[in-house]
Amino acid sequence: MEYGVQVNERVTTKRRSHHGQIVLTPRDLQILQWIGEQFAIRFDHLQLLTGKYSEVPSAVSETGLSYKATYRITSRWVKAGLVERKRIFMNEPAWIWLTAKGLQMVGLDLDSRPPALTRLAHIHAVNAVRLYVETRVGDEARWISEREANALRKRDKKKRHLVDGELEYQDGVVVGIEVELTQKRYARLNSILRELKRDYGSVWYFSAPECYNAVKNAVERIPEHQETFILYRLSSIMKDSA
């Protein structure tokens, strides 16, 4: 049976089965847009995200909405053809990403394809950072996804490095977001840092333990680095979002 999709401006999670339709709520659209912007999301992070938008605070724990409740939500999306849900690695939660229909539903003009296996660790880390940042800045700033932030940068030959996201405050200040999982050669890292300093008044740099010291040392060699770079340990961010 093919399901149609209907958007209801009123908050409701009821499925009108007699019409063969899945009714989407504003919450559904917000979460689906978030996922589309970030390429994909692992199920444990999705529990945190659905918990963030839950209308029943008592149903939300430190790990977000329950597995069962989140699974029910994603099952509606799967039936409507808006997402794919797949367990990719043994002993790890499933991943969810939007189909072409799902991207169109939330107004994202992006390619629809499964995330590359080599990109999953990075996507997961960036998602953890976004969840962490959004929890702390609230409505003061808007997260600009990697896809959106780099749309113009890809056309600018002077900008060789693509950022992992941006944070735009209400007063127009834009913060560059960088997430580092592996150690780069010094020359490449130094080039990235100087480009970031040129393009942003402030950069929040989240580094994994394997490369934190290398990034820290490279940052300290940049003139007036204190005015631009704020360094975070990615391990503590991942722990907070786990």
Residue 13 has pLDDT above 50, yes or no: no
Sketch out the chain's domains with CATH numbers: 1-114 (1.10.10.10), 116-242 (3.40.1340)
Residue 33 has pLDDT above 80, yes or no: yes
Q: Compute and round to an integer the Cα radius of gyration of the chain.
A: 19
Residue 200 has pLDDT above 50, yes or no: yes
Q: Read off the pLDDT of residues 89-137 as tens digits, 9 standing for 90 and up.
A: 988 999 999 999 999 999 998 888 889 999 999 999 999 999 999 999 9
Mean local confidence (pLDDT), 6-28 = 61
- Mean pLDDT, all residues of the chain: 86
Mean local confidence (pLDDT), 48-67 = 78
Residue 40: φ, ψ to 5°: -165, 170
pLDDT bucket at 9, cuts 50 / 70 / 90:
very low
User: What is the C-alpha to C-alpha distance for residues 181 and 212, in angstroms, rounded to an integer?
Assistant: 9
End-to-end alpha carbon distance in the chain? 37
Mean local confidence (pLDDT), 52-79 = 83
pTM for the whole structure:
0.86
